Chains A and B, each alone.
Chain A
């Protein structure tokens, strides 16, 4: 069982610790990994504003890098997952586009075959690790009321959604074994965090980010848990704390709070560990 870690922008600068969180998570799960070190930015829905075709090329190349190493591609980021998965759909349904990009990829000795699967933390646990195997790795229980927050890009578009977009249960199935109490059905639980408006309309991001947090707090949650590092970044720093699901998993697998990088959270989290 080996997976290729796709390094997106959530692994750099102020978010560099996300790399440790990801690696610790895979090691806690007993998953072997290799870093796709020549991978490039997925485009983040921004390079489309220069040229959409470059986005197809970038991600054909990213997937080809995984295929070269004989592994599937894993990214913890909702947006990277969605953008790469949408590219895969486009390439697999358009042989002309695929052939043309492969012609250009040949200069780097790469080929997009369409064999590698695209994984995000949620479907990695369900389909690659397996939920039963995942549960067997958990060593201790966390005591907290946790509000699951999926983030948009694992549930839309429908063609790349990881779970039933109307009635998703996967995040609950992943969080419950950690011993936490799940708070669902809170106000604005499906409202966007606004991350992608940070540098197009910063006020829009501020107005949105706080909405799910307020809903979760109102419903009595101690913290919000999201699989997405971008949602985490957008929503950290308000009254209600938010953590990434992999941080909680790492804690439950025995990592210390420091190893799980709780210290980098702007809004501090109080968790009871048994």
Chain B
């Protein structure tokens, strides 16, 4: 094993003085250390006041999520040597959660949001036997629909990297929505889908910006952003109409018709009120002032569109 020298730039926070600052630790350590082992080395050899949360060291307890070089991940799962950029590795606490000390955040606000989505199974009496002598069966193909989502270890890496929370601190959060999706998909759950969807609409699924950062952050390969799209699909098909569901329906309809989304009529249809009409009217004025002819305002079907429509129909039916 080889020893390497680098700087660990760690964000510190002292609640007694309410001061937050970066501190550089120059280390010369074996190149096989995980980020967690690096933190343990610093705590053991350099500064015993350095505070972080960790337990299993095996990427299963979900305690050590933090921001490493601007990206959230588990300190115990990441090799420190892979993260040295220009001789420095930068370590910060997760975003969007109150810092308790140094790299330790208060997880309570995120857990409180999780509680809002009823993150538990309410057994459906029609499916789940009322005695313990009979098993409650879930078929493999049924379990496949939420198998991956059950791998969530509540580490909050996705939450600490989420852009929707950057814009709305009340946003429910990625892993909370994954949990909601997981119980909607569970064949044993007795809560009406409509009721579960209602729980995720307020500061929820419509606030997501689809930036893909949660997917990049998850140490278990879960894709909250994709599950959020599925929740939106279910909301569109079962819930009340809104700007987003009108947009989704119109989007698909015009792509089917012409191959492209009709962005000219989209505001009018999506908003469904005077505000939308106003936007589309302004667009019309702008187009005219540019000398565009009316048939350039919205997309036209390309040659051979019938075959394309047929392709879409078959994708829907056969795939």
Instruction: Point out the residue from B247, B259, B260, B311 that lies within 8 Å of A200, measured CB to CB.
Output: B247
Q: Which residue of chain A is the closest to B242 with respect to CB atoms?
A: A200
Query: In the complex the two chains form, is B233's CB within 8 Å of A13's CB?
Result: no
Contacts of A165 in B (CB 8 A): 71, 216
Q: Interface range on chain B: under 10, 10 to 19, 20 to 34, or 35 or more?
A: 35 or more
Closest-CB distance, B178 to chain A (whole angstroms): 16
Query: In the complex the two chains form, is A190's CB within 8 Å of B311's CB?
Result: no
In this complex, the member of B70, B209, B252 whose beta carbon has the largest number of chain A beta carbons within 10 angstroms is B209
Alpha-carbon gap, A57 to B312, bound state (A): 8
Query: In the complex the two chains form, is A48's CB within 8 Å of B167's CB?
Result: no
Q: Which of A99-107, A118-126, A236-244 contacts B (4 or more CB under 8 A)?
A: A99-107
**In the assembled complex, A186 has its CB within 8 A of some CB on chain B:** no
CB contact under 8 A between A204 and B296, given known A49-B229, A166-B70? no
Q: Which residue of chain A is the closest to B314 with respect to CB atoms?
A: A104
Q: Interface range on chain A: under 10, 10 to 19, 20 to 34, or 35 or more?
A: 35 or more
**In the assembled complex, B119 has its CB within 8 A of some CB on chain A:** no
Q: Which of A34-42, A141-149, A176-184 contacts B (4 or more CB under 8 A)?
A: A34-42
**In the assembled complex, A208 has its CB within 8 A of some CB on chain B:** yes
Q: Which residue of chain B is the closest to A10 with respect to CB atoms?
A: B263
Alpha-carbon gap, A58 to B314, bound state (A): 12
Alpha-carbon gap, A156 to B166, bound state (A): 17
**In the assembled complex, B140 has its CB within 8 A of some CB on chain A:** no
Near B by CB (< 8 A), chain A positions 7-25 give 7, 9, 12-16
Q: Which residue of chain B is the closest to A8 with respect to CB atoms?
A: B260
**In the assembled complex, A139 has its CB within 8 A of some CB on chain B:** no
**In the assembled complex, B304 has its CB within 8 A of some CB on chain A:** yes
Closest-CB distance, A54 to chain B (whole angstroms): 5
Q: Which residue of chain B is the closest to A110 with respect to CB atoms?
A: B311
Contacts of B206 in A (CB 8 A): 197, 200-201
Contacts of A204 in B (CB 8 A): 164, 167-168, 207, 209
Contacts of B232 in A (CB 8 A): 49, 200
Near A by CB (< 8 A), chain B positions 249-291 give 249, 251-252, 255, 259-261, 263-264, 266-267, 270, 283, 286-287
In this complex, the member of B207, B236, B298 whose beta carbon has the largest number of chain A beta carbons within 10 angstroms is B207
Closest-CB distance, B143 to chain A (whole angstroms): 19
**How many pairs of A and B residues are in contact by the CB < 8 Å rule?**
189
**In the assembled complex, A211 has its CB within 8 A of some CB on chain B:** yes
**In the assembled complex, B193 has its CB within 8 A of some CB on chain A:** no
Contacts of B70 in A (CB 8 A): 166, 190
Alpha-carbon gap, A105 to B248, bound state (A): 25
Query: In the complex the two chains form, is A208's CB within 8 Å of B166's CB?
Result: yes
In this complex, the member of A46, A54, A207 whose beta carbon has the largest number of chain B beta carbons within 10 angstroms is A46
Closest-CB distance, A249 to chain B (whole angstroms): 24
Contacts of A166 in B (CB 8 A): 68-71, 83, 85
What are some 16 contacts across the A-B interface (CB < 8 A)? A16-B292, A38-B308, A49-B229, A50-B236, A52-B229, A61-B308, A104-B319, A107-B311, A157-B212, A166-B68, A191-B166, A192-B209, A197-B167, A197-B206, A199-B270, A200-B247
Report, nearest first, the 8 A-B pairs whose CB atoms are least far apart: A192-B163, A40-B259, A166-B69, A152-B211, A57-B315, A200-B244, A199-B247, A156-B212
Instruction: List 10 other contacts, CB 8 Å, given A40-B260, A47-B251, A192-B213.
Output: A44-B251, A51-B233, A56-B319, A101-B319, A104-B315, A166-B85, A197-B209, A199-B247, A204-B168, A204-B209
